């Protein structure tokens, strides 16, 4: 693992480890198990958007620039699907040996898939709502320690600054969880898109250009976001946040996470009619074991 960087590109990592050359994971899986083909996830995503299948627990998000009356179920209206833990096809992503072998370096052998997303960043309408403000994913999570949590984020196509790649502030995983709130953006902000208000403007920014099938593994304290999608295409990535199953829940009442807790608890009620009452209960309900033994999550 390269030192001093809070993210690692899987293909690059394979080279560091003396493994196959760049692109190897996409084209020639070393494990001989499931072939890594983002295309299969895209086909299922499109079926979900057309409402041909309705997996339990799934949330379909749309960009704030699209009104409810304009909404028709199709791939162009859905900016993100969250919570695909009950969709066999998409959840296969979270069980891929090629992914888990790196996840295990951070979590150890008992691994939970805690948060799942397929992000379909829409072409920006001009209001800049396709941006994702700079944030730390730990803001959404009520479990610790943060070092035993890792996000795997896989590009389903070529991603660069033109279609809104990830932008990261290297080294920020050594810091603490910062307060988050809605950014003051004129064109509107998507629900729950909290950002860090007072980040260091002089921090080095790294724009993570990725090829189809590339995966980055990053720490939940790493400050990151993504820019506007200036192309006509919908930029796709699939991701899962994994955690060691012996992580412990914390109570976020009285902390900077209290506001997001309320938003998520309210949304969970609106979508599923579930009275969870706390972030802890939301994640106890969503989390799925993918390897080893379920302990405290």
Ligand X SMILES: O=C(O)CCC(=O)C(=O)O
- Residues contributing to the site for Fe ion (CB under 5 A): 137
Helix (H, G, I), strand (E, B) or coil at 193: coil
Least distance to ligand MFK, CB of residue 119, Å? 8
* Beta carbon nearer to ligand ATP, 2 or 51: 2
Quick check: 142 and 235 in contact, CB under 8 A?
A: no
**Cα(14)–Cα(208) distance, rounded to whole angstroms?**
17
* Beta carbon nearer to ligand X, 62 or 121: 121
* Beta carbon nearer to ligand X, 24 or 220: 220
Please state the separation of Cα 12 from the chain's center in Å.
Answer: 20
3 contact, one of ligand MFK, Fe ion, ligand ATP, none, CB 5-8 Å limit per kind: ligand ATP
**Cα(32)–Cα(249) distance, rounded to whole angstroms?**
36
Q: Which of 6, 7, 26, 80 binds ligand MFK (CB under 6 A)?
A: 80
Q: Which of 64, 177, 206, 289 binds ligand MFK (CB under 6 A)?
A: 64
Q: Which of 110, 116, 190, 215 binds ligand MFK (CB under 6 A)?
A: 190
DSSP 104-139: HHHH-S-EEEEEEEEEEEPPP-SS-TT-EEEE-GGG
The residue ranges that bind ligand X (CB under 6 A) are: 117, 119, 121, 132, 137, 224, 226, 237
**Residue appearing with tokens 């790649």:** 165
Least distance to ligand ATP, CB of residue 51, Å? 35
* Beta carbon nearer to ligand MFK, 14 or 117: 117
219 contact, one of Fe ion, ligand MFK, ligand X, none, CB 5-8 Å limit per kind: none
- From residue 292, give the alpha-carbon distance in Å to each of 83, 114, 241, 268: 21, 15, 16, 28
Least distance to ligand X, CB of residue 121, Å? 6
Q: Which of 174, 191, 253, 294 binds ligand MFK (CB under 6 A)?
A: 191
- From residue 84, give the alpha-carbon distance in Å to each of 45, 56, 92, 193: 10, 8, 10, 20
How would you class 37 by CB atoms within 10 Å of its CB: exposed for 0-12, middle for 13-18, buried for 19 or more?
middle
* Residue 192 binds ligand MFK, judged by CB under 6 A: yes
Quick check: 240 and 94 in contact, CB under 8 A?
A: yes
Least distance to ligand MFK, CB of residue 295, Å? 22
The residue ranges that bind ligand ATP (CB under 6 A) are: 1-6, 106, 147, 149-150, 173, 217-219
Q: Return residues touching ligand MFK (CB under 6 A).
A: 61-64, 68, 79-80, 82-83, 140, 190-193, 264, 268, 282
């Amino acid at each position: 693992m390269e030192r001093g960087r809070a993210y690692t590109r899987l293909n690059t990592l394979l080279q560091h480890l003396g493994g196959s050359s760049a692109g190897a994971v996409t084209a020639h899986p070393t494990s001989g198990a499931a072939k890594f083909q983002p295309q299969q996830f895209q086909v299922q995503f499109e079926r979900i958007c057309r409402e041909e299948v309705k997996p339990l627990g799934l949330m379909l998000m749309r960009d704030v620039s699209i009104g409810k009356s304009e909404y028709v179920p199709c791939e162009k209206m859905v900016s993100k699907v969250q919570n695909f833990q009950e969709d066999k096809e998409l959840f296969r992503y979270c069980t891929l040996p090629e992914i888990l072998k790196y996840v295990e370096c951070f979590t150890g052998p008992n691994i939970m898939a805690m948060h799942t997303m397929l992000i379909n960043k829409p072409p920006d309408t001009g209001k800049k709502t396709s941006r994702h403000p700079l944030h730390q994913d730990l803001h959404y999570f009520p479990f610790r320690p943060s070092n035993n949590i890792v996000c795997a984020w896989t590009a389903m196509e070529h991603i660069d600054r033109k279609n809104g790649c990830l932008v990261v502030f290297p080294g920020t995983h050594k810091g603490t969880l910062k307060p988050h709130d809605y950014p003051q953006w004129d064109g509107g902000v998507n629900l729950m898109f909290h950002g860090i208000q007072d980040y260091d403007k002089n921090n080095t920014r790294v724009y993570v250009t990725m090829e189809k099938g590339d995966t980055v593994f990053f720490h939940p304290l790493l400050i990151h976001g993504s820019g506007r999608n200036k192309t006509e295409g919908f930029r796709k990535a699939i991701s899962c946040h994994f955690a060691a199953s012996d992580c412990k829940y914390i109570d976020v009442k009285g902390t900077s996470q209290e506001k997001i807790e309320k938003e998520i608890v309210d949304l969970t009620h609106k979508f599923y009619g579930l009275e969870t009452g706390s972030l802890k209960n939301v994640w106890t309900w969503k989390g799925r074991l993918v390897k080893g033994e379920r302990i405290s999550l």
